[in-house]
Structures are given as C-alpha cells and as structure tokens.
C-alpha cells in the first residue's frame, strides 16, 4: 500500500511565525517528491519537485528538504504571512507503475 502521510493535519500560527510541515513517504521505489500549494476555491499549484536525496529547494520564504533514504521531506515557511494560508500537499512519484500519490495535506492558517 502506497501511503503518503503529512503532519500536522492543520496549523494555526500568527503572522511572522515560522513554521514547518512533514511529509513521510515510502523510501523504496522513489523517483520524485512534489510539494503543492492549494488555496481555497483554486486548484493546486506546484511549489517544488525534488528528486535527489539531500535536495534543498527555495522559493522566496518557502523552502523544502528531502531525505529519500529515510522517506521524509520538510517544508518550511519563514515569517508566515496571511497570504500563506492554504493547504500544502506533498505527492510521491512512485517509480513502479507511474503514480503520483498525494498526502492528505496540511492546512495552514496565518492570523494577522
């Protein structure tokens, strides 16, 4: 069974707080790990696609790291802003059979 787990399920922070989420995935048959940002009433948009163990990617205040050997990725948001409020999804590209499997997401709410 391919299981992608994200924690926490939801997070409420104050503006300016830094935060991080975890994505756990099977460490075998790994090809890629995706992070997406999903705002209410919109469609998911890609943040990062990571393929190499030890990868670190950054986009503005958001960054992500990848550990394929132990099967986890972290997403960090530095100095959260209200516009960061969204659901953050990770997705595991399973190398056998070509499936992009999503976790349940972490819902972030940033209060001004």
Compute the distance between CA of residue 14 and CA of residue 26 in angstroms, rounded to an integer.
33
Closest CB to another protein among 14 and 42?
42
Site size with another protein, rule: CB under 8 A: 23
Q: What is the smallest separation between the CB atom of 35 and another protein, expressed in angstroms?
A: 9
Q: Which residues from 12-71 bind another protein, rule CB under 8 A?
A: 31-32, 34, 42-46, 49, 51
Residues in the chain: 112
Strands 106-111 and 10-14: parallel
The residue with tokens 């090809």 is 31
Please return the burial class of 25, using the count of CB atoms within 10 Å of its CB with bins 0-12, 13-18 and 19+: buried
Compute the distance between CA of residue 89 and CA of residue 21 in angstroms, rounded to an integer.
10
Nearest to 47 by CA among 28, 67, 33: 33
101 binds another protein (CB under 8 A): yes
Which one of 11, 68, 77, 103 is in contact with another protein (CB under 8 A)?
A: 103
Q: What is the smallest separation between the CB atom of 91 and another protein, expressed in angstroms?
A: 8
Closest CB to another protein among 9 and 81?
9
Residues near another protein, by CB under 8 A: 31-32, 34, 42-46, 49, 51, 89, 91, 93, 95, 97-105
């Amino acid at each position: 069974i391919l299981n992608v787990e994200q924690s926490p399920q939801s997070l409420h922070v104050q503006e300016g707080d830094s935060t991080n989420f975890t994505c756990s995935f099977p460490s075998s048959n790994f090809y890629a790990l995706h992070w997406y940002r999903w705002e209410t009433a919109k469609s998911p948009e890609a943040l990062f696609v990571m393929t190499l163990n030890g990868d670190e990617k950054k986009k503005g205040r958001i960054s992500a790291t990848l550990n394929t050997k132990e099967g986890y990725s972290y997403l960090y948001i530095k100095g959260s802003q209200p516009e960061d409020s969204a659901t953050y999804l990770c997705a595991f590209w399973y190398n056998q059979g070509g499936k992009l499997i999503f976790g349940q997401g972490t819902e972030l709410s940033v209060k001004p």
